[in-house]
């Protein structure tokens, strides 16, 4: 069974193109029109992602140039990381929860058809981004979780596998041994192999030369998390969001803080008001800081965590912003490269 959007019921959904200059007036509840946005015809295929997505944006850009659907291109891009056993952030080899089980989350949106799909706490399947796309394609639901998500994947021929590599199992065993002085485990020597709490995620947003947009986010979540914890990645409007008339945005970093402000949706709404992608992401981060609990703010009024947003608009403009300096990956129509993000605070400022 082919899973290509261009070969199934999504035939003909992508726009054939937009005029050299078009006036878009998205309507909102009550019939009040949102601010008009002037969009111009795309001259290039664009992909923007978190810093670990350099290979992914290059692959997505190549596929877009070959005429691939935007969501197919984005998912093929993030699959590179999902299938890489040496990448501890997502998919196969992702860092496990406190019980030593890898639980994966992913979500996606397809702008032309206004469809979305997501999976949460998925075990035993290397590519949750593809399972999320199957939820989008073949169900009237948006999110499946846990055992139900796994059974859904198996019904479509996905193979159940052990997602722990020798390297990630060693890191988990070292974390378990050293997590407390009074537990029943004997501490082992702490060295560079001991991995602290960390998040691992890749977000990708793409727009093709016709102005059609899609987004996807996939993650193994927070290392050593409480079993069943789901972050922002599979939450539509938080981990990623697409509006085919405006643009797309997504996030990596502290998921709980992103969920509290519906950050991806908010970033797209800032672009709807006319902000450029980078400025829209910065505005969302200011909202995150304002909404943060006191326990997450240091004595200088700065967050004790980092959070990043990546965005692209229908014109093909793109950018990224973080609370503290970081880098992101982008394919600008001709080549893929890592770039510096805009940011709110210097790390030691």
Report, as residue numbers or ranges, the catalytic residues: 201
The distance from CA 242 to its chain's CA centroid, rounded to whole angstroms, is: 11
State the helix-helix crossing angle for 70-82 and 54-65, rounded to 10 degrees.
150
| DSSP H stretches of helix in 199-326 | 255-259, 263-272, 277-291
For residue 243, give the nearest of 267, 219, 224 by alpha carbon. Answer: 267
The distance from CA 317 to its chain's CA centroid, rounded to whole angstroms, is: 18
Q: Residue 257 — φ and ψ, nearest 5°?
A: -70, -30
HSE of 179 in the Cβ direction (CA atoms, 13 Å)?
18
Q: Residue 145 — φ and ψ, nearest 5°?
A: -135, 160
| Token pair listed for 157 | 């021929």
Where do the DSSP E strands lie in the chain?
21-24, 37-40, 46-50, 104-110, 115-122, 143-145, 199-207, 213-222, 240-243, 247-253, 307-313, 318-322, 327-331, 336-340, 342-343
| Token pair listed for 258 | 């992103």
What number of helices (H) and strands (E) belong to the chain?
A: 8, 15
For residue 132, give the nearest of 184, 87, 174, 75 by alpha carbon. Answer: 75
Give the span between the Cα atoms of 47 and 58, in whole angstroms.
Answer: 8
Contact predicate 228/252, CB 8 Å: no
Tell me the torsion sign for CA atoms 93, 97, 98, 101: negative
Q: Within a 10 A sphere around the Cβ of 162, how many other Cβ atoms? A: 10
């Amino acid at each position: 069974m082919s899973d290509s959007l261009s070969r199934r019921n999504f035939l003909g959904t992508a726009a054939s193109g937009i005029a050299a200059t078009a006036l878009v007036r998205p309507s909102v509840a009550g019939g009040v029109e949102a601010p008009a946005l002037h969009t111009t015809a795309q001259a290039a295929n664009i992909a923007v992602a978190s810093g670990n997505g350099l290979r992914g944006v290059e692959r997505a850009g190549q596929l877009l140039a070959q005429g691939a659907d935007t969501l197919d291109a984005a998912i093929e891009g993030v699959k590179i990381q999902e299938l890489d056993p040496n990448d501890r952030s997502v998919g196969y080899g992702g860092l496990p929860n406190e019980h030593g089980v890898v639980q994966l989350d992913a979500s996606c949106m397809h702008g032309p058809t206004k469809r979305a799909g997501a999976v949460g706490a998925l075990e035993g399947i290397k590519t949750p981004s593809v399972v999320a796309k199957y939820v989008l394609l073949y169900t009237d639901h948006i999110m499946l979780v846990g055992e139900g998500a796994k059974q859904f994947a198996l019904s479509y021929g996905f193979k159940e596998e052990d997602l722990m590599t020798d390297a990630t199992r060693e890191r988990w065993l070292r974390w378990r041994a050293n997590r407390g002085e009074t537990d029943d485990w004997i501490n082992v020597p702490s060295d560079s192999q001991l991995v602290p709490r960390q998040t691992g995620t890749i977000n990708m947003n793409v727009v093709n030369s016709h102005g059609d947009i899609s987004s996807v986010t996939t993650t193994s979540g927070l290392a050593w998390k409480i079993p069943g914890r789901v972050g922002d990645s599979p939450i539509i409007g938080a981990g990623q969001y697409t509006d085919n008339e405006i643009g797309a945005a997504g996030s990596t970093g502290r998921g709980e803080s992103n969920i509290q402000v519906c950050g991806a949706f908010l970033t797209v709404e800032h672009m709807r008001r006319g902000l450029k992608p980078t400025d829209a992401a910065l505005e969302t981060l200011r909202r995150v800081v304002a909404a943060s609990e006191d326990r997450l703010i240091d004595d200088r009024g700065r967050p004790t965590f980092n959070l990043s947003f990546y965005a692209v608009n229908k014109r093909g403009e793109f950018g990224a912003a973080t609370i503290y300096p970081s880098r992101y990956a982008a394919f600008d129509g001709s080549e893929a490269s890592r770039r510096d993000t805009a940011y709110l605070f210097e790390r030691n400022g």
